[in-house]
Amino acid sequence: MANQARRRQVSSKAEGTTTAKVATTEKDVVREPAASAVSWKLLALAYLLLMAGGVYYYCVHMLWEDEIPEEEVYMVPVHVAKLPGRGMGVVAARNISRGELVLREKPLFLVPPKVSTSSPGAILLASLATLSPRQRGSYYNLSYVGFPEGLKKGTSRYNEELALAIFQTNAVAAGSHGVGIFPRMARLNHGCSNAFNVVYTWRDDEGVLVVHALKSITEGQELLTTYTDTKRPRHVRRQFLKDQYGFDCQCSVCSLSDDLAALSDQRLNGMAELYAQFSGWQHGQLNGREAASLAESIWRLGHEEGYWSERGQLAADVALIAAAHSDSAAVRDWARLAQTWFGYELGGDSVQAQEMERIMAAPQLHSAWGVRAREEVGGPAPWIYAA
């Protein structure tokens, strides 16, 4: 309608111009058809531009509306850049506070927990076929290891093995939904022990993966997560990362001198051993106070190492132990500590943090309340709140 009105308006002007120039000189009359031709060419050009704009709008807002620049998917300003010796990485564009939400990402696609087929690569190709070209591009742009040599490019076997290698290198567990691919999260490089500063978590009820800052991050600092449980010696961690992801870890912890690395390994091994002892409570091998004391020892070693992850769950476990022994004061204290650290690691709006708030309000409502003999478990030592 607008184009039609515009054509009518232009035609009227052209007609008016011709009528006005009938009484002018012969020279002017001879030039009139050329001017009219130019007007129609301009009109045609404008029409083509409008059509091109419409196609662009459709592609961007209808086909590719979920494909926005990587930096805009992050909840804080970041730079996605190529880093020396590390490939692509994510760098903070401003200071990021501990507990701040860094990324919220839906999966590119999900693969169910159980797949009844002898060709997982074929299933992946079928999933990829449902994506837009840009989405498929973001998948094939991911790094990978374990791709068989000698396959001919373009063959069915080659395509299936490539899709599978990318998936196995980058897939993240997505709870009851199975396993998913998250291209933006995959940009986060690995750090061991005290080197990683962000933690990713899958939220089953929301169907999204979230990343929170475990520690304060300064502008220009790289955001690092962890690909494995790093409470293991350096040589064990490095071998696992080499086998699974194809790189030699050079994070700040793995780059320590041998003597400092040995001290770090000693602390990490100590934490792993204490966790194993701590689990003895559920088998009746410890009383409540002994279990709480072990939790404090784990916390202390973690503080010395700079390993802050899993503190929320550790405090929540002691809150459960206190509830089992009917120590309501201890339940509140440990649940409060758990809520704080769940807030940092998983988000204050996480199911875990909200559950701790509910337990603080009514310790007797804890599902473990009173299942063991009554005992005074005691709350966290004062130094823990500052650690």
Lowest mean pLDDT among 7-11, 54-58, 179-183: 7-11
When pLDDT is cut at 50, 70 and 90, the band that residue 29 belongs to is very low
> Stretch 205-234: mean pLDDT, rounded?
96
Question: Is pTM beyond 0.85 here?
Answer: no
Strand partners, 82: 88
- Which of 18-22, 322-326, 376-380 has the least mean pLDDT? 18-22
* Residues 273/357, Cβ–Cβ less than 8 Å: no
| Band of pLDDT at residue 118, cut at 50, 70 and 90 | confident
Segment 136-146 shows an average pLDDT of 94
Q: What is the DSSP letter of 378?
A: -
Report the distance separating Cα 276 and Cα 297, nearest Å: 13
Q: CA angle at residue 310 from 189 to 329, to 5 degrees? A: 160
Over residues 289-340, the pLDDT tens digits come to 999 999 999 999 999 999 999 999 999 999 999 999 999 999 999 999 999 9
Question: Residue 115: what pLDDT?
Answer: 75
CB neighbour list of residue 37: distance below 8 Å, 6 or more residues apart: none
Q: What is the pLDDT confidence band of residue 84, given thresholds at 50, 70 and 90?
A: confident
List, for residues 60-71, the tens digit of each pLDDT value.
Answer: 333 334 455 554
pLDDT tens readout for residues 148-199: 999 999 999 999 999 999 999 999 999 999 999 999 999 999 999 999 999 9
% of the chain at pLDDT higher than 70: 81
Token reading at 341: 């650290």
Asked whether residue 257 carries a pLDDT value surpassing 80, the answer given is yes
The CA-based diameter of the chain, rounded to the nearest angstrom, is 115
By residue count, the chain amounts to 387
Over residues 18-31, the mean pLDDT reads 36
